[in-house]
Every structure is written in C-alpha cells, then in structure tokens.
Amino acid sequence: MTTRDTADTTPDVPADPSAGDTSSKGLFAGFDPQLKRLALVVVLGSIMSILDTTIVNVAIPTFQKDFRAPLSTVQWVSTGYLLALAMTIPLTGWAVERFGAKRMWIGSLVLFLAGSALSGASWSIQSLIVFRILQGVGGGMIMPIGQSIMATAAGPQRMGRVMSVLGVPMLLGPVLGPVIGGLILDSFSWRWIFYVNIPIGIVAVILAMRILPGHDRTDKVFKLDFLGFCLLSPGLGLMVYGLSQAGQGSPASVWIPAVVGVVLIVSFVLHALHTKLTPLIDVVLFANRQFSAAAATTFCFGAALFGGMFLLPLYYQDVRLQTPLTAGLLMAPQGIGAALVMPIAGKLTDRYGAGRVVPAGLVIASIGTVAYTQLGAHTSFGFLAVSLFVRGIGFGFVMMPAISAAYQTLAPLQVPRASTAINIVQRVGGSMGTALVAVVLEHQISVQVHALSGGLSTISTASPAAVAKLAQPLSTAVGNTFWWALGLTLLALLPASLLARRAPARSVDMAVPLD
C-alpha cells in the first residue's frame, strides 16, 4: 500500500466533546451533530442488509408453494444470499481504498436496491435465487464500509459509543426479520418482503449523497490482489456452503466443500504473508494481541448468538406450534434488552476498557441462556421472555465493545481492512455456530424421539397431533442442544479476558475531520 501523508487533512483533535457533557442523553449521547447525522445514514443503510439475512426465512413454505419447487432448491434463496455476503466482504478493504468509502457505500446501496427490486419481480425460483445473490453482493459491503466510515470519523475516545450505535441493527435485525416477514406475509404478497427495501434505500442513498464526507483519500493505482481473491472468496463460500449442508445432506456434501474451503483459506493466509501486493485481508493485524483477542471474542459471540437464534424459532414453531409472527414476537425480548444497554456499554467501554465490560456481558448472557437448557413442553412463555431479555442484555455488553476494542489500537489506514476482517470472522462464526447446533439438534432428536428418524424435516412436516404427543422429548432435545449454545458463550470468556482493561489512549492520528 502506498503511504499517504495525512498531515494536511487532519487537524489537531479537540477534547472529546462528550467528556463532561451530560446534557446529551440516549443512543447518540456525546455525539456532535455531524456525527449523529453520519450515524443515522450508516444505520439506515446497514439495517436493510441485516434484516434480509432473516426476513425471508418465514417465506420459504410460500416460495415452495408458489413456484412448485422442492425445499432443496428453495433453500438457496437464503443460502445464496449468505454466500454472496461472505464472498463479497473480502473486496471491501480494497474497494474503499481504490474508490473511496462514500462512492462504495452509495454504490453498494444501489446494487442492493437493484437486487431487491428484481427479487420482488422474480418469475421463477431460479430467477429469485440469482437476484438474491445480486442483492447479497451489494449487501456484503454495506456493513463493513459503514463501520469503517464511523470508526474513522469517531476517533478512539468515542469508539465504544459509535460501535454501540452500529450494533443496534446488528442485534435487532435477526429478531425483527421474522416479525416483519410474518407481518408482510399475513397482509401482503411475499414480493413486498423485497419491495419494502426500496423506499428505505432511496432515502439512505439521498442522505448519503448529502451527509457523508466527500474527502475520501483514494489510491488510483492500488491493485487488487486477484490471486488472494480467487483463494479467499471461494474458500469462504465453500466453507459456508458445507456448513449450510450440515444436517441436510450426506457427510460428503458437508465435509468435501468445507475441507476444500479451509485449504483455500489457509493457502490465502500463506499467500497474504508473502505477496508484494496489499492482500484483501491484512493477516498481520492478527499479530496485534488486542485485535486477535477481539476477533476471537467476536467469532465465539457470533457462533453463540446465531446458534441460539437458529434454535428459538424451531422450538416456538415446531414444538409449541406457534405461528411465524408469534414466534418472532417471542424472540423480540433479546433485541430489546441489547438495544437498551448498548449506549451504556459504549460509554463504559470508552471509560474502563472492553476487558472489563465484555466478560461481564458474557456472564450475564450465560445466565439468560441457562433457562433454555431446561425447556419443557409447557415452559412459561413469560419466563422464557424474561430469560431472553437477560440474554440480550448480556450480548448488548459484548458485541460492539468487542468490535470497538479491535479498532482502538490501529492506525487510521488499517481501519478499513480491520473492518473487513472482523465482519468475516463474525459471519463465519455465526455460520459455524448454526451448523453445530443443527447437527447436535438432529442427533438429540434421534436420541430422544426414535420415531422421528428423519430429524428436523420430519418435525416440520409432522401433524400437530403427532408433535403434541412428542412435545416433551422434542423440548428436551432442544434444551440439550442449548447447552452447546451456552458452551459457546462461555468459550468467548477466554479471549475476552485478554482485552484491554483500560480506557483507550488519545490519539491525534485517529481522528478525521467531518465536513
């Protein structure tokens, strides 16, 4: 990477405007007006991409019926989107440095909107899958570019609060997705699951053109690490594909693509350490103890969060026979708990360091998860909602404080690539957590309920009367699987204990002016 002189564009940093100012309350407490507007733009664009990772799940049966397609084909509506996200993220760091954050942010939004419009207009299951992949290509860059913009603009002293704001859509998305999807399916055509993005996206594009700073520093001769892309993106795609087949296909369909994917990723690491070009992921970042600890914490957290989110709708819909909308509402307390504490978590991280905040959050999340290891056929929904609220509070103290810790010891020019690496780690962690609990749940069902030899697919297609007779053993199977989600949460305590237990040092070089 060429060295850029930033002395002429970066003024001295004034004292943190939030230090000693207690008049500003709420999610944007301590933010100057321009930073508030910037956060609004980034959150508005990011929430569309995150919602679309889960919003279509409740529509899978509708797609099967309308397109007369088998589940093995329809599942690619979700899988194709996730694969596109994973394979596009590695391009983010290069694209930002080559074309600038503002241009790439707006371009990603436009591509996402085009994919949304085309998905809503799909005439066959094949066309829907193709357009969902296009949508994922745009969506894959939205969140990491947004994190990069906000991290660069905020400086280290406000990093925790800024990351907490960005964490709201990341935690609310998986919860609100099924709820919004259920509402749309109850009231409108499934096509509005995609069309709903268009007005929001248009507003986000207009605001981005007016508010995002236009002083991007770009390197016009910066070359793409094409070999690295050919190793890393297919490697991630194959690994995610293999994991997505866990519990569905044959062992070969899981292990062959997963192993090939891992080999390609390892090959990329070796290539990145020796290439003369700037690699898509700066693996040297992982030599930084703080960054590595934050990345490992984020990986385990992603596995625990998305693994649990996979189990919850199965229990509520397939065991307790609730509608998708009701199941989505029952999952909402987790997002509410997280959203309530995120501003507090950000302030505490900025004041005391992530090493004190994140472990406490993991302990709280573990306490909330324990209740789900004891699931029964008639467990009180109120008790489960309170437990899920506690789990959300814990995760609210974990997600963005851990990510902000990854950025706080880096130079400004490292931030875009750090954002890329952290987003990949989190999505891979979520994929692995989901695959793990799917395999464990299928095994638990075969142990607890011998009559349901078909596993998950049999539960989904069994009659209500058949499920009612087996509700207790099915509940036990889900509860036993939640022990693994609990274990993943506790596992995150190991790297979290290595995070800094002090406030970040003030660094003049970290701040960038906001026009």
Angle between helices 354-370 and 289-313 (to 10 degrees): 20
Report the alpha-carbon distance of residue 488 to residue 386 in Å, rounded.
21
> 23 exposed, middle or buried (CB, 10 Å; 0-12, 13-18, 19+)?
exposed
Query: 451 burial class (0-12, 13-18, 19+ CB within 10 angstroms)?
Result: exposed
Q: What is the pLDDT of residues 114-143, one digit of tens each?
A: 999 999 999 888 899 899 989 988 887 887
Give per-residue pLDDT as tens, 418-475. Answer: 777 777 787 777 777 776 777 777 777 777 765 444 444 445 445 556 666 777 788 8
DSSP 323: -
- Residues 211, 202: Cα–Cα separation, whole Å: 14
Per-residue confidence (pLDDT) for residue 161, from 0 to 100? 63
Which two three-digit tokens encode residue 354? 């992530």
Q: Would you state the pLDDT for residue 18?
A: 41
Express each pLDDT in 338-354 by its tens digit: 878 877 887 787 777 77
Task: Give CA–CA dist 80/237, Å, rounded.
Answer: 10
- Single out the residue of 179, 174, 185, 181 nearest to residue 197, CA to CA: 181
Cβ–Cβ under 8 Å, residues 303 and 359: no
The pLDDT-based confidence of 389 (bands split at 50, 70, 90) is very high
* Overall fold of domain 282-502: Growth Hormone; Chain: A; (1.20.1250)
Q: Alpha-carbon distance 351 to 185, whole Å?
A: 45
On whether the CB atoms of residues 203 and 44 are closer than 8 A, the answer is yes
Residue range 22-31, pLDDT digits in tens: 334 555 555 6
* Residue 215 pLDDT grade (very low, low, confident, very high; cuts 50, 70, 90): low
CA 294, CA 282: separation in Å to the nearest integer?
A: 15
pTM of the predicted structure, to 2 decimals: 0.70
- Kindly compute the dihedral angle of the four CA atoms of residues 114, 120, 121, 125, in this order, to the nearest 10 degrees: 110
Confidence grade of residue 280 (pLDDT, cut at 50, 70, 90): confident
**pLDDT (average), residues 261-276:** 88
Q: Is it the case that residue 32 has pLDDT exceeding 70?
A: no
CATH no., domain 26-220: 1.20.1250.20
d(CA 408, CA 157): 9
Question: Residue 20's pLDDT is what?
Answer: 39
Work out the pLDDT band at 406, boundaries 50, 70, 90: confident
Torsion of CA 244, 477, 380, 389, to 10 degrees: -40
pLDDT at 233: 79
Cβ atoms 100, 218 nearer than 8 A: yes
Q: Are the C-beta atoms of residues 262 and 370 closer than 8 Å to each other?
A: no
d(CA 267, CA 478): 38
Q: Is 296 left (phi over 0), alpha (psi -120 to 50) or beta?
A: alpha
Cα→Cα distances 53→100, 135, 486, Å: 26, 11, 23
Nearest to 425 by CA among 296, 281, 258: 296
Share of the chain above pLDDT 70, in %: 75
What average pLDDT is seen over the chain? 75
Domain ranges (residues) in the chain: 26-220, 223-277, 282-502
User: Does 155 or 275 have the greater pLDDT score?
Assistant: 275
Q: Which residues have a Cβ under 8 Å from the Cβ of 216 and sit 6 or more positions away?
A: 99, 100, 101, 102, 103
Radius of gyration of the chain, Cα coordinates, nearest whole angstrom: 22
| H or E segment to which residue 466 belongs | helix 464-469
Q: In this predicted structure, what is the pLDDT of residue 21? A: 42
pLDDT, tens digit (0-9, with 9 covering 90-100), for 168-209: 666 666 667 778 877 887 778 889 989 988 888 888 888 888
Say if residue 219's pLDDT is above 70: no
Rounded distance, CA 297 to CA 426, Å?
9
DSSP track, 210-235 = HHS-------TTPPP-HHHHHHHHHH
pLDDT at residue 394 tops 60: yes
* Closest CA relative to residue 30, chosen from 171, 168, 154: 154
